[in-house]
Amino acid sequence: MPGRVRRNTELGLILLGAVITIGAYILASLGRSDVLPADVVPFLVAVLVLLLGAHIANRFLAPDADGLLLPLAALLNGIGYVFIARLDEDLAGLQAMWTAVGIGLYIATLLVVRRTRLLERYRFTVGLLAMLLLLLPLVPSVGQQIGGARIWVSLGPVNFQPGEFAKIAFAVFFAGYLVERRELLGMATFKLGPVHIPDPKHLAPVVIAWGVSLVVMMFERDLGSALLFFVLFLVMLWIATQRVWYVATGFVLFGLGAWFSWTRFSHVQVRVSAWLDPWADPDTAGQIIEGTYAMAWGGLAGTGLGLGFPWKIPVVETDFIFAAIGEELGLLGATAVIVAFLLMTGSGLRIAARASDPFDKLLATGLTTLLAVQAFIIIGGVVRLLPLTGVTLPFVSYGGSSLLANYVLLALLVRISDQSSRRPATRPERERAAA
C-alpha cells in the first residue's frame, strides 16, 4: 500500500519540521533577549495541533496523496512565522491566526473538493469568479490603495487581496477550458497573412481572460501578479497543446509589453532603474539597498537568529522576508528556503506527470507554476536578479490572503495526487497470468 508509506513519511517529516520551527523560535528569543520565550509551551502545543491536524486530515481525506508537499509547506510557514514573530509581535499574533485559518481552509478544501471533476464542471463559473475577484479592488469605496498598488478590498472589518484567490480560480478555468479545446488549439488552421494561427474562435476566451487580467493589473499597478498570470497562461497553453511556438510568441509579446510599459509608466521606470543601479537614487531604491546589505551582513551562516538588524529593511515582513532570512541564517538558510521551493515544485510536477486525467495534469501543472513562479519573482527581486515587484513569498511572508490562498492551492494539489494514485490504471502494471 503506497498510501501508508507516504503518510508515515509525512508524519516523520512533519515532526522534524515542528522541531525545526520550535528550535528556531527558541533560538530567536535567546538571541534577542537572552531568555526563553515566555509562550514556548503554548507555541509548541499550537504548532503540533495545527500540523498534526492537517496530517490527520490527510490520513482520512487523501490517504494516497503525496506525502512531501504538506511538510515542506509547513516548514516554510514555520520559518516564516519565526521571522515575523522576531520582527513584529502584533503581526505574529495575526499570522498565527491566519495560519490556523489557513490549515482549516486546507482541510475544508479537501472535504469539499472530493473529486477534481467538480472543478472541471464549474470551470466557467470559476472563470467568472476569477474576473470578479480581480476587478473587486477597482470598485470605488470597496477597493483600497495601500503601498502604491490598488489590490486591497475592505468589506466591513475584513481586508483582503482578492488577487491571491483569483490566481487559483484562473488556473482552474484555464485547465478546464484548455482540456476541452486543446486539440483545436494545437492546429494552425486560420490564415493571417503569411502565417497560420489557430482559429481565433477557440483561442478567444483564454486570450480575453488573460488580456483583461493584464490590463486590470496594470491599473492596479500590481506588476508582480501581472507577470505571474502571464507565465501561468503561457505554461498552461504550452502543456495543453504541446506547441512550443506558443511560448516563443509569448516571449515576443512579453518583450513588447515590457518595453511599452517601461516607456509609458513612471512606476515601471522607477522599478527598472532601482534594479539596474540602486545607488543612483538611494532614496527610492532604499529597500533594495538595505536588503542587499542585510544579506551581505549575513554571510555564509548568518548572524544568528535575533542577532541581526532586519527591521531596517522597509516592508521586511512581506516582500523582503527573504532578505531577513539571508541576514540571520545566512546563505545556508536562504538556500534552504530555495531548496524547499524546488522540492515543492518537483513534487507538484511529479503529481502532474503521474495524473492520468488531462484536466488533473493541467491543473497540477498550473498550480505548481503559480507557486514556483511567485517564489521566483520575489526572491529574484530581492537578490536583484529581476526588477523588484511586490508579491508575497508563498507560505513565508506575512499576509492572510496569501497564506489562505496558498493553503487552498496546496489542498488542490494534494487532492489531485490522491485521486491519481488511487486509480488502478496508474499503478505500474496489473498482470494476470493465464492459468
Partner 1 sequence: MPEQLLTVLKICLLALLYLFFLRVLRAVWAEVNPPKRSETAAKAAKPARRSRAKKVKGARRLTVTAPAALKGMAFAVTGEVTIGRANGCTVTVDDTYASQIHARVFQQDGQFFVEDLGSTNGTYLNRKKVTGRMVFRPGDKLQIGNTVMELR
**Rule CB under 8 A: which residues touch partner 1?**
2, 5, 9, 12-13, 16-17, 19-20, 23-24, 27, 30-31, 34, 67-68, 71-72, 75, 301-302, 304-305, 307, 329, 332-333, 336, 339-340, 343, 346-347, 350, 356, 358, 423-426, 428-435
Q: Which is nearer to partner 1, 138 or 307 (CB)?
A: 307
Taking the complex as a whole, the smallest distance from the CB of residue 241 to partner 1 amounts, in Å, to 17
Closest CA to 355 of 428, 406, 423, 431: 423
Taking the complex as a whole, the smallest distance from the CB of residue 187 to partner 1 amounts, in Å, to 20
Taking the complex as a whole, the smallest distance from the CB of residue 71 to partner 1 amounts, in Å, to 7
Residues contacting 114, CB < 8 A, separation 6+ = 415
Taking the complex as a whole, the smallest distance from the CB of residue 207 to partner 1 amounts, in Å, to 28
Measured in residues, the chain has a length of 435
DSSP state of 207: H
Q: Which is nearer to partner 1, 132 or 332 (CB)?
A: 332
Q: Which is nearer to partner 1, 29 or 406 (CB)?
A: 29
Pairing mode, if any, of strands 195-197 and 190-192?
Answer: antiparallel
Q: Are 374 and 392 in contact (CB under 8 A)?
A: yes
State the number of CA atoms in the 13 A half-sphere of 29 facing the CB: 14
Q: Which is nearer to partner 1, 31 or 63 (CB)?
A: 31
Taking the complex as a whole, the smallest distance from the CB of residue 34 to partner 1 amounts, in Å, to 5
Taking the complex as a whole, the smallest distance from the CB of residue 270 to partner 1 amounts, in Å, to 36
Give me the DSSP letters along 290-357: HHHHHHHHHTTT-S-TTSS-GGGSTTTTTTTHHHHHHHHSHHHHHHHHHHHHHHHHHHHHHHHHH--S
Taking the complex as a whole, the smallest distance from the CB of residue 49 to partner 1 amounts, in Å, to 20
Q: Which is nearer to partner 1, 86 or 167 (CB)?
A: 86
Taking the complex as a whole, the smallest distance from the CB of residue 361 to partner 1 amounts, in Å, to 11
Give me the DSSP letters along 269-293: HHHHHHHH-GGGSTTTTHHHHHHHH
Q: Which is nearer to partner 1, 214 or 307 (CB)?
A: 307
Q: Which is nearer to partner 1, 62 or 68 (CB)?
A: 68
Angle between helices 286-298 and 330-354 (to 10 degrees): 100
Taking the complex as a whole, the smallest distance from the CB of residue 27 to partner 1 amounts, in Å, to 6
Q: Which is nearer to partner 1, 173 or 359 (CB)?
A: 359
Distances in whole angstroms, Cα of residue 98 to Cα of each of 77, 209, 221, 336 = 11, 30, 26, 24
Residues contacting 153, CB < 8 A, separation 6+ = 136, 137, 142, 143, 144, 159, 160, 161, 162
Q: Which is nearer to partner 1, 354 or 384 (CB)?
A: 354
Residues contacting 303, CB < 8 A, separation 6+ = 297, 327, 328, 330
Query: What is the Cα–Cα distance from 261 to 391, expressed in whole angstroms?
Result: 19
Question: What type of residue is 405?
Answer: A
The dihedral formed by the CA atoms of 56, 57, 59 and 64, expressed in degrees to the nearest 10: -150
Q: Are 275 and 384 in contact (CB under 8 A)?
A: yes
Taking the complex as a whole, the smallest distance from the CB of residue 96 to partner 1 amounts, in Å, to 21
Q: Are 410 and 111 in contact (CB under 8 A)?
A: no
Name residue 196's beta-bridge partners: 191
Q: Which is nearer to partner 1, 31 or 250 (CB)?
A: 31
Name residue 153's beta-bridge partners: 143, 160
Taking the complex as a whole, the smallest distance from the CB of residue 271 to partner 1 amounts, in Å, to 32
Q: Which is nearer to partner 1, 384 or 423 (CB)?
A: 423
